[in-house]
């Protein structure tokens, strides 16, 4: 069984996306039971790429990562909203103002064990917060599409989203933010928790 961990590539205003870099670094760790994929930060292509990666493996869970530039800590997202906010183009220049999936629920709850993950992070002294939802941009679009498909699947797998801060060693990172290497250290307890449950 395999845990799929995804991050994103660049998008307008973020030339280097730390979620994609973190995924690449975690892949180099060679952890058993993990496969990784960097996704295009595009409303339509992101889920298509994730779904193709999931089909290629016996996936037991899906952990999606994205960057929240203003976040001071890991942000465990509770809900995905069925809405894309207008005016902010994705990496392909597409801007939408519409539901993620028409005639679908207003929101889906994460199916990851968030309270267990929170306990693991607390024990490891990793700063984190539980967030109400993943926003209304590409991160949320991917999160909602993934949960929508899992809700309709005959054998659904746990799936959820975690936002990471912008590290200090990349452009726009705050001086007191963690480094990219430290962010990967913060994520490893999350991975261990999910692998132990798979």
Q: What is the mean pLDDT of each run of 10 residues along the chain (198 residues)?
A: 94 96 92 94 98 92 96 96 93 96 98 98 98 97 98 95 94 85 96 89
Q: Which domain holds residue 147?
A: 2-197
Annotated catalytic residue, options 139, 141, 146, 184? 139
Of 151, 156, 131, the closest CA to residue 54 belongs to 156
Whole-number Cα distances in Å, 19 to 121, 153, 156: 18, 27, 25
Number of domains the chain is built from: 1
DSSP element (H, E) containing 36: strand 34-39
How long a stretch of residues is the chain?
Answer: 198
Question: What confidence score (pLDDT) does residue 101 get?
Answer: 98
Q: Which helix (H) or strand (E) holds 27?
A: helix 18-28
Instruction: Identify whether 141 is a catalytic site residue.
Output: no
pLDDT at 198: 67
CA 8, CA 80: separation in Å to the nearest integer? 17
Q: Residue 128: its pLDDT value, please?
A: 98
Whole-number pLDDT of residue 170: 84
* Annotated catalytic residue 44: no
Residue 142: predicted pLDDT: 98
> Residue 139 catalytic?
yes
Q: Which of 46, 77, 133, 184 is catalytic?
A: 77
Neighbour count for residue 184 (Cβ, 10 Å): 22
Q: Which residues contact 123 (CB under 8 A, 6 or more apart)?
A: 189
Q: Say which CATH number the domain at 49 has.
A: 3.40.630.20
CA 167 to CA 63: how far, in whole Å? 20
Contact 4, 50 (CB under 8 A): yes
């Amino acid at each position: 069984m395999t845990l799929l961990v995804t991050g994103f590539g660049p998008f307008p205003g973020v030339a280097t996306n730390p979620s994609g870099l973190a995924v690449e670094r975690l892949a180099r760790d060679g952890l058993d039971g993990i496969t990784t994929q960097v996704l295009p930060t595009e409303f339509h292509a992101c889920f298509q790429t994730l779904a193709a990666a999931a089909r290629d493996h016996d996936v037991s869970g899906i952990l999606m990562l994205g960057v929240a530039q203003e976040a001071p800590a890991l942000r465990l997202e509770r809900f995905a909203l069925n809405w894309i906010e207008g005016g902010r183009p994705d990496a392909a220049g597409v801007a939408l103002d519409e539901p993620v999936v028409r005639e679908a629920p207003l929101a889906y709850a994460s199916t990851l064990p968030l309270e267990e993950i929170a306990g693991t992070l607390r024990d490891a002294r990793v700063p984190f917060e539980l967030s109400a939802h993943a926003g209304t941009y590409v991160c949320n679009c991917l999160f909602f599409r993934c949960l929508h498909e899992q809700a309709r699947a005959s054998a659904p797998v746990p799936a959820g989203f975690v936002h990471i801060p912008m590290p200090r060693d990349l452009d726009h990172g705050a001086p007191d933010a963690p480094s990219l290497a430290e962010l990967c250290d913060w994520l490893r307890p999350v991975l261990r928790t999910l692998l132990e449950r798979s």
